[in-house]
Structure 1
Amino acid sequence: MLEVSLTHDFGGFKLDAAFKAPPGVTVLFGRSGSGKTTIVNAVAGLLMPQHGRIASGDWVLLDTDRNIRLRPHKRRLGYVFQEGRLFPHLSVRQNLAYGAWFAPKDAPRENTARVVDMLGIGPLMDRRPAALSGGEKQRVAIGRALLSAPKLILADEPLAALDDARKAEILPYFERLRDEVSVPILYVSHSASEVARLATTVVALDNGRVMAQGPAADVLGNPQLRPGGARDVGAVLTARILRHHDDGLTELEAGGLPLFLPHVTASPGTGLRIRIAAHDVILSRDRPQGLSALNILPGTIAEMRAGDGPGAIVALDTAAGRVLARVTRRSANAMGLAPGVQVHAVIKTVAVAATDIGAVG
């Protein structure tokens, strides 16, 4: 358990944040300027805050009260940047070896062959970075960080510089890191899809402060929070694949309710996390008939939040889990929506993007 408590006044911006990062992937989530990268830089030792403590048990990186400020190279961290930042004159094999060269001789090490296999970079070993795609560079950068025997991996928006195709390529590798590697990961993102897929724990930030912390389903399903902005509001459901149909749809089961998605490349029985964007959900007081939408989830309104403009966020508790819907206040008033009212959430099958579907950690 990494414990972080930081205070630093930049003049026009003040960071005052405290949180705990348990094993797994802890995502610092918020809009640009919320303090995410500032926190990561403080953990890395690239920023020395005015006051703070960063520690995990006896492993103390920073304690201003005790005048402990470890230099960056002594912190035993692996850092994955937005760009791969590989050495251009070295092959993939040599870049990986460079990471291993920095590992303390007595430190527990990841097996190189296992890391290469896990990241799918075996065929790339003799290439130089100029011959790699953006996604391939990031996988090599992750491998280099792992082989340095870090106590913690920092990933500062590692997918931000990639197009959608490359993001879809590399997200499963981060899922494998979360599930198969013992090193905890502190991951910076402003993408709700990445948070929903990867996070073991979410730390929602706004203007230098922690708004909430907890599992992805709890934080993203809270209608009072909008760390990524109104367009990124959405909830996370957990489901299990039942079967694949000949018409290209995959049928899932979520809390006993059927859920249909475009074909998912995974075997029946596989558990999935699915992000449902609030703007893709329509509400109906009665169970609708004659619609093209296949996913209809009955539930009860748990809470509502009216925005500053014409919109409102409605939180609906269903057997499948918490679902959020973004509606106009006019519609909410006309339908008599209020906590305790029973409604149906209607979700178009094709509205769920592939990047919003990930493996259960």
Structure 2
Amino acid sequence: TWLSDALPHLAKRIDDVCVIKSMHTEAINHDPAAMMFQTGSVIPGRPSMGAWVSYGLGSGNANLPSFVALTSNGRGRAGQPLYDRLWGSGFLPGRFQGVKFRGQGDPILDLYNPAGVTRNQRRRMLDSLNKLNQQQADRFDDPAISTRIAQYELAFRMQMSVPELIDIQREPKHILDAYGPDTTKVGTYAYNCLLARRLAERGVRFIQLYHRGWDAHGDAPKQVRRQCLDTDQPTTALLQDLKQRGMLEDTLVVWGGEFGRTVYCQGKLTDKVYGRDHHPNCFAYWLAGGGVRGGITHGETDDYSVNIAEKPVHVHDLQATILHQLGIHHERLTFRHQGRYYRLTDVHGKVVHDVLT
């Protein structure tokens, strides 16, 4: 497997990684392309993949959400905005939506009680509120009210579980060092990689890390290397950490963006500050762990990386494969909404068995 010299750390663990070189999508711009990967559709309002997984598998830890989205601050440009619908529950019950950990300030707002309010007082307040909500739920049979009750209870439990979770200073020094110099800076990609491992250890089913700033329409050589500097060491440390703890075989790691970039220049042809445009026709993703064959590539592009030459993998195929490795049949995970059954892969998707052990 050929790997860029901008990823020296990942190169050391490439035997654990399967690179899919033949990904493709119909979406040509960021928002619809991100929606396609996260929800299986460019139409807003559909459940995200993490919400589908939460719906299908339930929670592995009653004191934490089953689905967490981690937004990161990077060295490069801020990049495209991240909308809550990317981790939303759509028409699924609201309790399946992702809980966002912010990239700056407190990871979760209102995690601690106000001064003068004890935990027992908070418990009594919540019990009184739940009685009122339950009366409304019994009267109107509104699932939104039942979801609200469940979310209030989860938030109360998270006040006890999350402070310990996010205190990564408890980690040994060699672990902090492995993830890189930014590991102790809240909201950085390195911090979130280590936090992702801690979430996985505690039974959180689906964890998403967002890292922006890859939209290199100009100054691509500098921008891409800066982004790789931000992500290479922490990503590799996460793989190594999971493997050393015996967790990688049960944890599927998926890494990629909403589409690729052209191999030809965008803008003025120079040797230093050229850009690369959006390229949905063919691009790469990589997977590791979770029953995926490491040390292989899947698919081929033509000689100019303009189109796919062998073994195309559509977004829906990748989604079907992810669900399959989580023990879910992508055609059977459905939800009835407005008169018809929906699923993550819509009416499409084939499991890519060639990349699986």
Q: Same fold (TM over 0.5)?
A: no
TM-score by length of 2: 0.28
TM-score by length of 1: 0.28
More helix by share: 2
Question: Which fold has the larger relative contact order, with Cα–Cα distance below 8 Å and residues 6 or more apart in sequence?
Answer: 2
More strand by share: 1
